[in-house]
Structure formats: structure tokens, C-alpha cells
Structure 1
């Protein structure tokens, strides 16, 4: 997929996101428009800068954004968060417990695995949501699904694919997937991807789409950026942003994003989970990153949501009296996985 670096953010060249109300204001710069699931992608005429046009439209009070590129694993310079490593099989047998809670998982998709073979929810996963078998982040969604399955036994997953095998997607695809979730919104939504914006301001259409899931708790990763620069959608006030702890579960993992916009943290280093059954991997892997810390937090919230609304769970865990905070990392969620 083509992308362009702008202000240490990535965007789709020549593309602007907006809603119908701004189409007329952008008409003179428009070459074509594609509209689906609540968002318009404006393909701009040659030479038009989507960032400059965004700024102009926003000054007019319009909802507009470049089509930002979002990444499942933004750390590309090596280290434990850069790839999965083979791991021996995990002795876990799914129980028969049932939960009425649904967890949304937008990621690279999901592959067949013994942990969910035969479940009702996996039987509803279509071929369009199959995990990629090739690419640097193939298996990312399958790995996260295993953490969610173990963290919230009996919960159903609703899987959508918004990232390719290299862990790359864009804002337009995610906004459209979020709009499709409104018909049957999950109690918890796991978004283990994100990115920076060209101006470090919240992306308005993505923020609107998440806010539209009024009863859903959205949990997103703080990014493997080792910086306090806001990482979206985790930095949105309506989203639970999650940083990664090291194996001691007391200190920040060196690669993890951090800052006042982070709400929670969990172990992200050397977790083991389900994976693709390919090459030296036999369906299991060890991996590190804020993506996986996010899944641990989502699992805790989803499991507790069996007994009380997910929004109430978050208020109790994050804002309750006596909640321990780690500066710039939020409330720690300790895990035995």
C-alpha cells in the first residue's frame, strides 16, 4: 500500500477523509469520491496537499482529515516487539463456561486454531476476516485472539480485518469497520494498532466513529514508539489507552509509548499465545508489544463485564477509590498469562 511521510506521520497520498457536508467545500480540488459505511474518501487532483486542505476545511468548521496510515506494530528497527518467535505449545484447554459478552477485534484477521475450533462465534467468521499467512505481522490478530480467549473465557469474538499481513491499514478502512459494528455493537472493542497524525490533533472522523459506539468500551495500544507523542486512537479521551510493562510488571517496557494520555498498562514483554501453524511455528508464538498488553486489559474488562456493564467496569478499575497509578502509564493490570 502506498504511503507518504508527513510530519513524522504517514498518510495515503492524495486522499482526504470527510463526511457529506464537506464535499461541496472540497469540490474544486476533487478528482473523484468514494463513499461507503459513513465516510467519504476524496481523491484529490494532482498537486493538492491533503494536509493543507484539511487545515483549510477545519477552519471552516468541517470534519476532515488526511487518510492517515495506521500500523499494527509501528516498531520496525528490531527488538522483541518487531516479530514473533516460535514457542512450544501452551497447555490450555478452553472450558465450557459461556459469557454473554462480545469482544470486537479489528486487526489482521484470525486463523483457525484449536482454542476456538467449533465455537459458535468462529463459525460466523467469514473468509474476508481470515488472518494473512504472509507478511511481517501475519498472525498478529490470531495472537491477540488467543490472549482475549484466555483472558475472558466464554466470551465471543467479532472479528474484522482492517490490517494487511504487514500490519498496515488506514483510517478510512477502520472508520468504515467501526460504522459496521454499530448494528450489533460489542461490549468491548480491541484496537491493537494506531498512528500519529500530521498535526498531533485527534483525527475527527475516527473519533466520531468510536464515539458512535456509545455502550462499547474501546481499548487501544499506546504504540511501540518509546515516546510521549500522542498515538491515536489510544490518546482519545473516550478510549482506554494501554502501555506495555516489562516482564517484572513494575516498569515500562523500553519500546512502549507513554504520557498523560495513557490510562492503563499491562505486561507486554514475551507473552505467549496462539499463532499461525506455519513453518517453524506450530500454532504458538512468543511476542512483545503494546498490542498485546492491550489485549490483556481488554480481556480483564470483558471478563468482568459478565457481571456489570463494561463502562461501569472501566470506571471502577480506572477511577475507583484506591486505584494505583504509575505516572505516564496509568493503572497497572497484572496478568499471569
Structure 2
């Protein structure tokens, strides 16, 4: 994927994201427009700065953003969150009970695995939802699916592949996937990816898309940035932003993002889960990152939602007056795996 660095944010060069209301105002910079699922991507004339056009459109009260690149958040400089490691098989037996809870999973896809063999939700997946088998983040979605399956047994997954094998996507792809969920919104939505925005303000179309899923609890990772810089979509008011703590569940994992915008935390250090069956891996791996802490929080909310609406379950689990809090990491959600 072609990308451009703007500070510590990444954008698709020559593109801005908007809705139809801004098309006429942006006409003088426009070379072409691609529209799908209620989202317009304006391809700008050569030499036009997407950030400058965005600023001018926003001054006119229009919804616009550079087409930010979002990542599944590996640690490119190395460390425990940078890659998965092979691990022996995990003794988990999925139960036969089923709940009515649906968890949306936007990620790299999900591959075949014994933990969900024979389930209705996996049988409904098409080849376009299969997990990537090549790239630095291949298996990311399968790993998260296993954490969700163990933390919320009986819940069904609704999978949409938005990340490539290297864990990359763009804002337009994610917003379109969110818009397609509106007819059948999930109870809980796991978003284990994100990024910084060029101006540290919330990307408006991404914010609108998540807020539009009014009955859904969106849970997003705080990023493996070791920084308090807002990370989107986790920092949105309409999302539950999740940081990672270490294996003791006492301290922030050194790679985790943090700050007043973080709502919850869970263990993200050396978790074991389902994985690809290829190379050195026999279907299982150990991995670290806020992506996986996010799955534990999303799974805990989904498990509680079998008895009450997901919004009420999240409110109860993340009640800062009754649950343990860690400064700049929010409410601790125990792993319980």
C-alpha cells in the first residue's frame, strides 16, 4: 500500500475522504471521485496537499479528512509485540451452548481452526474473509478470534477482512465496512487497529460511522506506541479504548499506549491463542500487543451481554466507581482465560 508520512501519522497520498456534501466545494482540486457505501474518496490533482485541502473544507463546516492509513500495530522496532511465536496446543474445548450475542471482527480475516469447526458463523464465511497467510500480520485475525471464542463462549463472530497481510488498511475501507454493518449491527465490535491523525483531531467520517452503530459497543486498541498521543478510533468518545497491562495485571505493558482517553485495560503481554497452521506454527501462537488486550475486553463485554444489552453490560463492567482502575489505563478487566 502506498502511503505518505505526515508527522507520526500516515495517509494515502493524493486522497481525501468525505461525503457528497463536500464534492462541489472540493471540485477545483478534484481529479476523480470514487464512491461506495456512502463514502467518497476524492483523488486530488497532482501536487495538491491533502492536509491543506482538508483544513480548508473543514473551515467551511464540511466533513473531510485525509485518507489515513490504519495499522494492526506491530512494533516495527522489535520487542515482544512485534511478532508471534510458536506455542504448544492449548487445551480449550468449545462448549455446545450458543448465545444470541454477535461480535463483529474487522481484521485480517479468520482461518480454519478446531475451536470453531462446525460452528454456524464460520460456515457462513466466504473466501474473502479468510485470514491472510503471508505478511507480518498474517494470523492476526485468527489469533483475536480465538481470544474472543474463549472469553465469550457461544457468541457468534461476524468477520470482515479489512487489513492486509501486513496489517494495513485505510480509513475509507474501514468506514465503508462500518456502513455495511448498519442493517445488521453486531452487539460488540472488535477493532484491533488504528493510527494517529495528521492533526490529532478525531477523523470525522470514522467518528460518524462508529457513532452511527448506536446499539453496538465498539472496542478499539490504544496502540503499541508507548505514547499518550491520541490513537484513533480508540480515542473516540463512542469507542472503548483499551490499553495493555503486563502478565501480573498490575502495570502498563511497556509498549502500550496510554492517557486520559483510554477507558479500559487488560493483559496484553504474552497471550496464547489460535493461529495459522503453517511453517513453524501448528495452529497456536503466543503474541503480545494492545490488539489482544482489546479482544479480552470485547469478549468480556460480549459474555456479559448474554444477560443484558451490550451497552448496559459495558457500562457495568467499566464502572469506574466499583472496578479497579490504573492511572492512564482506565478500568482493569481481568483476563479470565
Do Structure 1 and Structure 2 share a fold, with TM-score over 0.5?
A: yes
TM-score normalised by the shorter chain: which range applies?
over 0.9
| 1:32 paired residue number | 32
| 2:223 paired residue number | 223
**Alpha-carbon distance, 1:97 to partner:** 1.2
Indicate if the aligned counterparts of 2:139 and 2:276 stay in contact, CA closer than 8 A: yes
Distance 1:273 1:284 in 2: 6
| 1:316 paired residue number | 316
**Alpha-carbon distance, 1:156 to partner:** 0.2
User: What SS does structure 2 have at the residue aligned with 1:173?
Assistant: helix
Query: Pairwise mapping of residues 59-98 of structure 1 onto structure 2 (< 5 A)?
Result: 59-98=59-98
| 1:289 paired residue number | 289
Distance 2:320 2:237 in 1: 17
| 1:193 paired residue number | 193
| 1:57 paired residue number | 57
Indicate if the aligned counterparts of 1:74 and 1:225 stay in contact, CA closer than 8 A: no
Q: Tell me, yes or no, if structure 1 residue 254 matches structure 2 residue 254.
A: yes
Distance 1:101 1:252 in 2: 30
- TM (norm. structure 1) is 0.99
Distance 1:293 1:5 in 2: 27
**Alpha-carbon distance, 1:52 to partner:** 0.4
Distance 1:258 1:219 in 2: 15
| 1:139-189 deviation line (CA, Å, top 9, x unaligned) | 000000000000000000000011000000010000000001111100000
Indicate if the aligned counterparts of 2:319 and 2:331 stay in contact, CA closer than 8 A: no
Q: Which runs of 4+ in 1 moved over 6 A?
A: none
User: What SS does structure 2 have at the residue aligned with 1:313?
Assistant: helix
**Alpha-carbon distance, 1:321 to partner:** 3.6
| 1:144 paired residue number | 144
User: What SS does structure 2 have at the residue aligned with 1:68?
Assistant: strand
| 1:207-241 deviation line (CA, Å, top 9, x unaligned) | 00001100000000000000000000000011000
Distance 1:171 1:74 in 2: 18
Count residues in correspondence.
Answer: 337
Distance 2:62 2:324 in 1: 40
Distance 2:79 2:156 in 1: 33
| 2:272 paired residue number | 272
Distance 2:247 2:318 in 1: 22
**Alpha-carbon distance, 1:325 to partner:** 1.4
Distance 2:27 2:93 in 1: 57
Distance 1:145 1:303 in 2: 14
Query: Pairwise mapping of residues 43-54 of structure 1 onto structure 2 (< 5 A)?
Result: 43-54=43-54
Query: Pairwise mapping of residues 103-114 of structure 1 onto structure 2 (< 5 A)?
Result: 103-114=103-114
Q: Please list every run of 5 or more consecutive structure 1 residues that lacks an aligned counterpart in the other structure.
A: none
